[in-house]
Structure 1
Amino acid sequence: MLRSAKPKTARGKRAQERRQPQVIENVKRAMVLRGATTSETVNTALQDLYALKKPDAVYFSKKNEILPFEDDTKLEFLTQRNDTSLFLLGTHSKKRPHNLVMGRMFDFHILDMLELGIEYAIPAYVFDSVKCAVGSRPLFLFQGDVFDQREDYSKFKSLLIDFFHGEEIHGIDLKGIQHLISVTAGPFPDDGQPGLIFFRVFALQFKKSGTRTPRVELQEMGPAFDFRIRRTRFADHSIWKEATRVPKELQLKKTKNVSRDGLGDTYGRIHLGDQKLDDIQTRKMKALKRIRREKMMGNMIDDSTVVGLD
């Protein structure tokens, strides 16, 4: 770990304050680096994923002796030095060929990480299509119930969304959405091993439809990967609870009889007293006037009166 010395200048003090926990955190930056041995498939995959993450990423082309599942001190040192909370490491060995390790940090310690094996890969330069602009936001499409049923798949989904999240915004122009990332869970084989996960990237094309809403077409722009989950390391419940704690300044104050759903819609509950139906104002019609109705009832009683004979 880096030594946290007392700053001697105002500039150093401001830089140290930026690294402290904030109520509204900055954009999560990612560190993309190579391991001691890599293959051409791994190198191309790192470059393509780095291109999708830019400009909120830093890429190290030199080799690094890092084995995160055996010793994570060097990786934690590099993430703290470069002020990155996400990392993507590429390695290659006979036991685990074409390997990617994706993870995130909390307080400059590894929170959770997941190892992916590349079973099939097509680099982005092979596809003859329009490429997305630097810094554009992707749409995500997860297909398969297993992403909500298995812990390793749900963590992989969470890591992907966190990796490409970007800056927090409240609105976006339709033309600003330029690409879509589709993640599909394949069937599980009979040997009990995790199935393949199909990672595809498509460019969005807006065509004329004759209405205000354009017709959307997808064109694959790459890269394309078939992943298989290998080793995992997840944080325990207490550390995960501390890492996902919402600051008091951002917590919504509870209001009586007001609730919100998962989509942010607000619902209110109104309590009414006893309703007197006779006093409720209804539609003003002559037939419904009380005076006229009572007068008609009085006339009916007078007409039905029987006069006795002498």
Structure 2
Amino acid sequence: MSVIQRVVKPTTRKGKKVLLSREPQVIEGPKRMLFLQGRRASEKVRKVLSDLYDIKKPDARKLSKKNDITIFENIVPMEQLCRKNETPLFLFGSHNKKRPDNVVFGRMFDYSLLDMIELGIETYNGFNEFSNRKISLGTKPCLIFSGPEWESSEELKHLKSIFIDMFHREHVENVRLQGLEHAISFTAANGKVLLRSYKILLKKSGCRTPRIELDEIGPRIDFTIRRSKLPSEDLMKQACRKPKELKKTVKKNISVDGLGTKHGRIHIGKQNIDKLQTRKMKGLKKTTEERALDKTRKRKSMDSEDHEIRKKIKAN
């Protein structure tokens, strides 16, 4: 059954600005994420949702009410909630006898399901079980992916991409060493995904480069991979399409040498140098003596031409 969507046209300047902000941008900002739970959720699932929500804040929205959604059977209610809250990412927690302590990571493309992966929580240690100092709100984390399975398994490839979208914040060109405060490690081994969170401490080392220590701050979660729903190649290609403004165009006749110096080649037609206007300043005009010399040179050249012509006439 197809749903006909109503086309909203702005009537005010503020409404037009809001609709323009919802359109695709050349450089996307941090993606917002929706945290919600199903009909039943265990205490472990609720704590996992709460801890991941604290890491994702302020680019997150958490729903406190329970939602009667069976996400793998009917995805339409989730798409409607993501559209309503303007969140292209979602984390759905549930618990039942067949799949206990269950969470689903997923993302949308144009508010239609792109991909989602279901994980089971085996072990969990939350923020409260670590007594050390936590990180500040909105810190951009350093993501570390360990294990060859991240590149060999299609499910883990998509899960890695979801984690990157989830913890990605503002786009930056350079990174300051003192700005690296938080590191999140993801290890894939034997069908499990191990999540660890560390606070980066810069210690004195006696030289310019500091000594780095990692202090675990939580949460510590061990996931097992369960079900997944992956997109088709055409849909994934459409979702990963880059805008024209970001594509690098090759400039002709420009090269860079080994030292980084840029060289350019210019092609121009033939020019008559004798007719170029070079004297425009009043102080660079010809003097009377230079004019007299030019006149005498012209007379001599004309006389020599006349003399050669006369010779040819006599010879004939």
TM range (shorter): 0.7 to 0.9
User: Is 1:217 aligned to residue 220 of structure 2?
Assistant: no
Q: 2:108–2:115: 8 Å Cα contact kept in structure 1?
A: yes
What residue is the counterpart of 1:252 in the other structure?
Answer: 248
Residue pairs, 1:101-180, within 5 angstroms: 101-180=104-183
One-letter amino acid matched to 2:237: K
Among the aligned pairs, what percent are the same residue? 44
1:256 deviates by: 5.5
Instruction: Select 1:74's aligned residue among 67, 74, 77.
Output: 77
> C-alpha offsets along residues 239-282 of structure 1, whole Å, 9 cap, x if unaligned?
1111100000110112469899xxxxx9999xxxxxxxxxxxxx
Structure 1 residues 128 and 24, CA gap change in structure 2 (3 angstroms): same
1:4 deviates by: 3.4
User: Is 1:22 aligned to residue 25 of structure 2?
Assistant: yes
Say which SS state the counterpart of residue 137 (structure 1) adopts. Answer: coil
**In 2, distance between residues paired with 1:232 and 1:253?**
38
What residue is the counterpart of 2:90 in the other structure?
Answer: 87
Consecutive unaligned residues in structure 1, runs of 5 or more: 189-194, 261-265, 270-310
Structure 1 residues 121 and 257, CA gap change in structure 2 (3 angstroms): farther
What residue is the counterpart of 1:286 in the other structure?
Answer: none
Say which SS state the counterpart of residue 217 (structure 2) adopts. Answer: strand
TM-score (norm 2): 0.77
**In 2, distance between residues paired with 1:258 and 1:225?**
52
What residue is the counterpart of 1:97 in the other structure?
Answer: 100
Say which SS state the counterpart of residue 73 (structure 2) adopts. Answer: coil
One-letter amino acid matched to 2:25: Q
Q: 1:203–1:221: 8 Å Cα contact kept in structure 2?
A: yes
Structure 1 residues 71 and 13, CA gap change in structure 2 (3 angstroms): same
**In 2, distance between residues paired with 1:227 and 1:257?**
54
**In 2, distance between residues paired with 1:258 and 1:155?**
39
Q: 1:257–1:268: 8 Å Cα contact kept in structure 2?
A: no
Consecutive unaligned residues in structure 2, runs of 5 or more: 264-316
**In 2, distance between residues paired with 1:27 and 1:137?**
10
Q: Highest CA radius of gyration, 1 or 2?
A: 2
1:178 deviates by: 1.0
**In 1, distance between residues paired with 2:48 and 2:6?**
34
One-letter amino acid matched to 2:31: K
One-letter amino acid matched to 2:233: H
What residue is the counterpart of 1:207 in the other structure?
Answer: 203
**In 2, distance between residues paired with 1:121 and 1:43?**
11
Q: 2:130–2:217: 8 Å Cα contact kept in structure 1?
A: yes
User: Is 1:198 aligned to residue 194 of structure 2?
Assistant: yes
One-letter amino acid matched to 2:70: L
**In 2, distance between residues paired with 1:69 and 1:129?**
39
Structure 1 residues 132 and 257, CA gap change in structure 2 (3 angstroms): farther
**In 1, distance between residues paired with 2:29 and 2:204?**
38
Say which SS state the counterpart of residue 236 (structure 2) adopts. Answer: helix
> C-alpha offsets along residues 25-70 of structure 1, whole Å, 9 cap, x if unaligned?
2321111111111000000000100111111111111111122211
> C-alpha offsets along residues 191-232 of structure 1, whole Å, 9 cap, x if unaligned?
xxxx22111111111100011111000111000000011110
One-letter amino acid matched to 1:119: E
1:8 deviates by: 2.4
How many residues were matched structurally? 258
Residue pairs, 1:274-289, within 5 angstroms: none
TM-score (norm 1): 0.79
Q: 2:37–2:92: 8 Å Cα contact kept in structure 1?
A: yes
**In 2, distance between residues paired with 1:201 and 1:25?**
26
